[in-house]
């Protein structure tokens, strides 16, 4: 496929996935929910001693500092899309110190989007920046790809800003960086664009076409959102708050997605260890307690809580 042909395919996919967002029912408003932001984890001192995070982040607002950290991770950690599945059940802890030790600066190793988002979350928390991961899921149960990014809260701009340590970029409407929720709303009307490293927003209208591969990818994966309700160093997987279109059967979608992955894995002749993990995942999806949150998750957190200060800070 030529570059021009690839661009045409990306443009068609962009229209299809933006259309799916446009015609989806409004996001259902679930229960009141908040995120616990844990800034006092002692491991952050080790993280800052091992990597010059303050120097990398530099000065300025939280968005600019977080973006520099985001691009540092993107430039120094390779990509391996199946990393978490392959390593599930292994001894590697899920935190920035272990993940960076494994992959930082290694051309023969990489991490998936979720692992990179975890690193960025913890690097930001180590510097006192409100940060949390956001998971982005497609509509189709037959789509085996999703995406995970990080959001930081910028106190000067009074907004959550999405940062993607896989691409090293963010999403903008041409005026300001957007949150994942705002990105979803903007893509539904075929507006906004990813902004990648070494790109300026002075000629923003050109970026939609230039970054069409990322724009359609974000549109595809923004049908449902999930926010882990604890942002901290390592720890067990926290409960997640899902935001889904009204009437969408999330459990049925997730169970069928897990079943479909197992079907494909059998066709691909994966080893028995991975097949057993996938079988267990199907049962977990059937029994998983689903918690549905609301748009209040994008309220100002902690000390910036201009409304009701619902989002907690834990020192």
Structure tokens, 247? 């009437």
**Residue 57: what pLDDT?**
98
Helices (H) then strands (E): counts for the chain: 12, 13
Name the stretches of the chain with pLDDT < 70: 85-91, 305-315
163-217 pLDDT, tens digit per residue, is 999 999 999 999 999 999 999 999 999 999 999 999 988 889 899 999 999 999 9
Q: What's the pTM?
A: 0.94
pLDDT at position 87 is 65
Residue 230: CB atoms within 10 Å: 17
CB 211 within 8 A of CB 193: yes
Residue reference for tokens 């006092």 = 40
pLDDT of residue 40: 93
pLDDT digits (tens, 9 = 90+) for 106-129: 999 999 999 999 999 999 999 999
The answer to whether residues 296 and 311 touch, using CB atoms and an 8 Å cutoff, is: no
pLDDT of 302: 79
**CB 21, CB 188: distance < 8 Å:** yes
Distances from the Cα of 220 to the Cα of 22, 143, 217, angstroms: 12, 10, 5
Q: Does domain 3-248 have CATH number 3.90.260?
A: yes
Residues 94, 237: Cα–Cα separation, whole Å: 9
- Contact yes or no for 313/37 (Cβ under 8 A): yes
Q: What was the pLDDT predicted at 307?
A: 42
Residue 315: predicted pLDDT = 39
What average pLDDT is seen over the chain?
93
Segments making up each domain of the chain, as ranges: 3-248, 249-291
For residue 164, what is the DSSP state? Answer: E
C-alpha distances (whole Å) from 254 to each of 24, 184, 223, 282 are 18, 20, 13, 8
Helix or strand (DSSP H, E) at 98 = helix 96-103
**Which are the contacts of 132, defined by CB distance < 8 A and separation ≥ 6?**
35, 37, 121, 150, 151, 227, 228, 231
Determine the pLDDT at residue 306: 46
d(CA 136, CA 120): 17
Whole-number percent of the chain with pLDDT over 70:
94
Q: Which residue is it, tokens 């409960």?
A: 239
């Amino acid at each position: 496929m030529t570059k021009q042909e690839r661009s045409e395919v990306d443009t068609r996919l962009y229209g299809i996935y933006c259309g799916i967002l446009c015609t989806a029912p409004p996001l259902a408003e679930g229960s009141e929910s908040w995120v616990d932001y844990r800034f006092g984890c002692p491991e952050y001192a080790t993280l800052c001693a091992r990597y010059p995070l303050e120097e990398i982040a530099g000065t300025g607002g939280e968005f600019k500092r977080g973006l520099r950290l985001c691009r540092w991770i993107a430039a120094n950690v390779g990509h391996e899309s199946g990393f978490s599945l392959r390593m599930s059940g292994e001894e590697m802890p899920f935190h920035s110190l272990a993940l960076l030790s494994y992959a930082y600066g290694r051309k023969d190793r990489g991490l998936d989007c979720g692992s990179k988002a975890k690193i960025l979350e913890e690097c930001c928390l180590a510097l006192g920046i409100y940060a949390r991961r956001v998971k982005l899921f497609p509509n189709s149960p037959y789509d085996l790809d999703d995406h995970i990014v990080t959001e930081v809260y910028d106190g000067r701009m009074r907004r959550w800003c999405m940062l993607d340590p896989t691409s090293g970029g963010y999403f903008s409407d041409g005026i300001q960086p957007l949150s994942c929720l705002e990105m979803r709303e903007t893509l539904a009307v075929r507006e906004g664009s990813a902004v990648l490293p070494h790109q300026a927003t002075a000629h923003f209208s050109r970026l939609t076409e230039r970054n069409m591969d990322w724009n359609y990818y974000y549109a595809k994966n923004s049908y449902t959102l999930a926010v882990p309700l604890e942002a901290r160093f390592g720890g067990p997987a926290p409960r997640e708050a899902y935001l889904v279109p009204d009437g969408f059967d999330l459990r049925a979608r997730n169970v069928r997605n897990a079943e479909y992955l197992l079907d494909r894995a059998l066709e691909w002749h994966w080893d028995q260890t991975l097949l057993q993990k996938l079988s267990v995942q199907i049962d977990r999806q059937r029994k998983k307690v689903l918690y549905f949150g609301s748009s209040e998750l994008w309220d100002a957190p902690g000390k910036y809580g201009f409304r009701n200060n619902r989002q907690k800070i834990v020192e």
